[in-house]
Every structure is written in structure tokens, then in C-alpha cells.
Structure 1
Amino acid sequence: MPANTPYYQFPYIEPSDQITTIPATSKAQAQRYEQALKDANVPPGNPDVTAILTRLNNLETIRDRTPRREAAGSGTITVSGTNGSINVTFPPGRFTVPPIVMVTRQTGTNANHGVYAEAVTKDGCKITMYYGPGGGTGTTQVAWHAIQFTDTTANG
């Protein structure tokens, strides 16, 4: 009786199998290979090598659009007066250039409260919250996300 490979379950013949099992095993192998190629979107027949390489290059282009380096975190800003800030240190060696940093306020409902990143370097940044005209005191939770799209630039 034919056996199957452990991972993909491709059938194969054992030394103890009878010769009469060869056609069924061969058919099962061909069907598994055909399904694997179909699942990989390889066109039937004898596909043009150039077309396959073009498709692979397109996949590489899509991969190149994803951020190469990322870091994220959160913190609490304490405001006294019109603004407050926290310093963020990125993981050592994560970025090779100053990344793009996006900041969002997680608590608070006052429309006059704004948060932003400043003094961004490859090693960290300062996140500042403007408390609005007249100032005040309080704390606000913020979240940040830093990204670098290529090995040499932050933009993607």
C-alpha cells in the first residue's frame, strides 16, 4: 500500500508494494502536483518563463512596499500649563534614518488638545501635547507608531 510524505501528503511507493499499485500512486502524485501548481496560480501548459519571472518581480515589488522597520508604543503625558511632553526611545538599532512617527491621543475629549512628534531622530523622538488656549493640568494617554519603508529612507 502506498505511503504519504509527512508534510504535503504526496503519495509514494514502498518497496513492499505490489506493481499493481503503481498506476494509482502515479495518478495521485500527478493530481497533488497539479493542485499545488494551481494553488500557486501557475498557468497550465508550458508557461512562459518571462511571464513567471514578471509575476515574481511583481510580488517582490509588493513586498518592497511594506515597511522594513517598525516600532510602536504608548505613554502618558502630564500637562501643566499649555503643553507637556514625553521622550520616546526607539529600540536600539531599529531605524537607520529618522522614521515617520504617527501619534494619536487615546484619552481625553477636548478638541483643543493636539499631540505631535517632534525632534525625530533614528534613536527616538519627543511627543508633545498642546493643551489649548488657557492651559490646564491633567494627563493624557498617547500611542505612537514609527515606520521606515526602505533601508535608506523613511518614505515608502
Structure 2
Amino acid sequence: MEVSYHHVTTDKNPADLATRGIDSTSLQNCTFWLNGPSFLSEPRKNWETKLEGEIQCPIEDKDEVNLEMRNTSKTKNTSIRQKKRAEAMANLVLVETSVNATVSTSKKPKQTTEIYTSFVPFEYTNSLSSLTRITNMVLKFISTIQWSVKQDKES
């Protein structure tokens, strides 16, 4: 199986929907979330590729990286892509890699009969922005009360 990673702009990345404040109901009905961006259904050679910054790779993978970077020039804006690729190649840094692995075993956690109840009123809203706003108001109220009590003690 061939694996490669490329940058996807935020407008074509369904994972960024959550950071844009979409509510859960809209997310359930969002075809962009369920199916992904439209370019995924196109042949891979038509996908936009974007190289940014400095590329680091193990010395043993240098040839594969160079090959993949050469293959990205088959896109629409060839001259722009070639310029970006040349800039990225100039910044190519070869690093030696090593993998350290630690294996740990643990016993099964004890089962508890306590049921966790959240103090956040999830049942009243399905919007993260509403929950954030409510939490902010409560924290501001608590801060105001604490300040008021402190002022009363000082006078």
C-alpha cells in the first residue's frame, strides 16, 4: 500500500468543520463531513499538491521523497509548482532516524459503580459555541462575586 501525506487547505478539510463552530445537527446532515472533499473522487494525478516549509526525511528515504516531489509537477499550475518544489528541495534536510519503543502491560481497571454526571448542561443545547458562552458567563459571575466579597472584607 502506498502512503503519502499532503497539505489540504481548511476549506477542503472536513476535520476543520468542528473548529468553525458547526452544531451537531448540521454536522450529522453534512455531506462534506460524511463523504469528504470532492477531489477525493477524482484521479489522484488531478489532486492539488502543496509543499510548504522545510522537509525532513530519513537518509534512506531521500530517493522516494525526491521521486514524489518530481511527480507533483503534473498539476495545473506547473510553473508555480516547480518553483515551490525547487524551494522545498533547497530546504530539504536529511536526518537520521531511530525508533525507541516501550511496551508496558497493565491489569484491567477496577469497575466502579459510580455514574459520572457532568455539570455542563449538554441536554439544553447541541452547540459548542452556546456551551462556551454559558460557561464563560458563569465563570464571569463567579469572578464578580469573589471580587465583591473581597471588597467587602477590605472595607
Shared fold (TM-score, shorter chain, > 0.5): no
User: Given the two structures, how large is their TM-score scaled by the length of structure 1?
Assistant: 0.19
Structure that is richer in strand per residue = 1
The structure whose Rg is larger is: 1
Structure that is richer in helix per residue = 2
User: Given the two structures, how large is their TM-score scaled by the length of structure 2?
Assistant: 0.19
